[in-house]
Amino acid sequence: MTIKRLILSLLTLVVVALVGSSLITSLGQPQITNRLELYQTNLVLLATETSPQTETTETTASADPMDTARSQLQQAVLGDNPLKMALENYQSVRDDAQETLTNFEIRMAESNSAQFSTLVQQQEALLWQLDLRIGLLQAVQGNIDTAQSTWDALLNQLERRTAGRAIAETTTVLQNLWNDPPTVSDNAEATEATVRENLEGWFQSEALTQLYTVAENSTALTALQTQRMAIARSTLFKLAVVGILPTIAAIAGIGLVIFLLVQRFTQGKEALLAVGGQAWETPWEAEIIWQVLIVGFFLIGQVVLPLLLSFLPISLADSTSRVRAFYTLGYYVTMATAGLFILFLSVSSYRPLPKDWFRFQLSGRGLLWGVGGYLAALPLMLGVSIVNQQIWQGQGGSNPLLQIVLEENDPVALGIFLFTAAVAAPVFEELLFRGFLLPSLTRYVPVWGAIVLSGLVFAIAHLSLSEVIPLALLGSVLGIVYVRSRNLLAPMLLHSLWNSITMIGLFILGSGN
């Protein structure tokens, strides 16, 4: 064995240990799926202010066409009983959170790990927030006794818990507001401040409405109702964007997938999905593939850069959102630059490269493959995500950037995160995984095998167990698009569309919370 191979072997052991550790750690991390469901539920609640009311036949007949259209949109988006649906969603998420907490407590007892102790505390805080809001949903629907019982149980849990003091104060405020008769403390301004500080969106508006009603503050109540109506109209549009438009795209994608499958069976090797016999002429051996992946991607991204950045005098936990956004972009651009430099050095001795290597052309065919690939991937990813959720039951981790974006309100920071996800990531990852890895693998395995293997490595590189299956599928779709188009523009566009539309959806969902 040469010195180079020995060094690569040792580095591989280090990388495998680190990647394996990250994947195992992600097993104890919650997914973002439940949080996304709650954010969408919160948007639905904000839009209920304009939910259609029962009207007489005469009123309906004389209604303005715009009002009729809006009512139909509300019915389609909000359903018949949005408050009941919201309560069911919150209780479902609470059940999952309670099960997760139980699992964390068991693992903490078995391992005595500080990591699980932190996870237990985070999960407890989530349950407190859920119970506070579940009680409010129950109270608004007229189930006052049930709401008071929910809040009583929450206060019993928070007794002598310093970390939950703010939740306890807010719970007490809500109990007083929905007492029979309702009461407000002598300092109404302090009560309002507590509500505004610890509740958001619809929950804050409902608590303030009850507060102003009990305090007989008609001026504040009228202003709040006007504000809620305006927010409800804009929220209805947001819900249409995050709900109806993806549904239309998914239906189009289903039709496209059916067409492609039928064509594959009827036209055989002439079909658009036929990928056999299209291998690249690969001049380098497996050692170059090994070197680029281990040194150019995993070692730099997982070892070298984190070590170097640890010496920077920056505490991300205490930094502003813009600093975190620039840090994320800088980290990714640095990793991409270093990785592509290693790739260039590794293949430079084989130049000029054979035909179709790293081919990028601005062409209509490339655009069609990119957009068509996105539409086809959408229903496939939705179906796999449903199965994947059943497998992992809310665990297995998620990309941390998703949670950051979901909770971000600074438009500059959001723009930087969007650029990172929609431009920097697709360019680098498609150059590496589709431009280099997939064609290189065709020297050793059939093209379909190279598509699957490169997709699997692409999925593992994201370091979240729960994302391996859906990302492997997405990576395979990206591979098929590249193999058939022979143009890196196509998978880059597909990748960019997927990331940017996901990010925009998160921006919209987060705006209502």
DSSP string of 125-142, one letter each residue = HHHHHHHHHHHHHHHHTT
Task: Say how far apart CA 123 and CA 100 lie, in whole Å.
Answer: 8
Higher-confidence residue: 81 or 472? 472
Confidence of residue 479 (pLDDT cuts 50, 70, 90): very high
Model pLDDT, residue 316? 62
Q: What is the Cα gyration radius of the chain?
A: 27
Q: Phi, psi (5° rounding) for residue 395?
A: -110, 180
Residue 252 has a pLDDT of 92
> Who's near 376: CB < 8 A, 6+ residues apart?
253, 256, 257, 260, 477
Is the Cβ–Cβ distance between 27 and 396 less than 8 Å?
Answer: yes
313 vs 356: CA distance, rounded Å: 45
SS (H, E, C) 235-300: HHHHHHHHHHHHHHHHHHHHHHHHHHHHHHHHHHHHCCCCCCCCCCCCCCCHHHHHHHHHHHHHHH
Q: Say what the pLDDT of residue 80 is.
A: 66
Mean pLDDT of 419-440: 93
Instruction: Report the pLDDT value the prediction gives residue 56, as an integer from 0 to 100.
Output: 40
Is the pLDDT score of 51 beyond 50? no
- Encoded amino acid at 417, one letter: F
Strand partners, 461: none
Q: Is residue 375 helix, strand or coil?
A: helix
Tens-digit pLDDT profile for residues 166-224: 899 999 999 999 988 888 776 778 888 999 999 988 899 999 999 999 888 899 999 99
Banded pLDDT at 234 (limits 50, 70, 90): confident
More confident residue, 52 or 167: 167
For 103, the token pair is: 């699992």
Residues 184, 211 contacting (CB under 8 angstroms): yes
The percentage of the chain sitting over the pLDDT mark of 70, rounded to a whole number, equals: 86
pTM of the model: 0.81
Does pLDDT of 510 surpass 80? Answer: no
Q: How far apart are the first and last CA of the chain?
A: 58
Residue 317 has a pLDDT of 59
Residues 509, 390 contacting (CB under 8 angstroms): no
| Residue 280 pLDDT greater than 80, yes or no | yes
In this structure, are residues 26 and 464 in contact, taking their beta carbons and an 8 Å threshold? Answer: yes
Residue with tokens 């990388």: 15
Of 291, 303, 332, 343, which Cα lies nearest the Cα of 17? 303
Mean pLDDT of the chain: 83
Residue 52: predicted pLDDT: 44
Asked whether 483 and 373 are in contact (CB, 8 A), the reply is: no
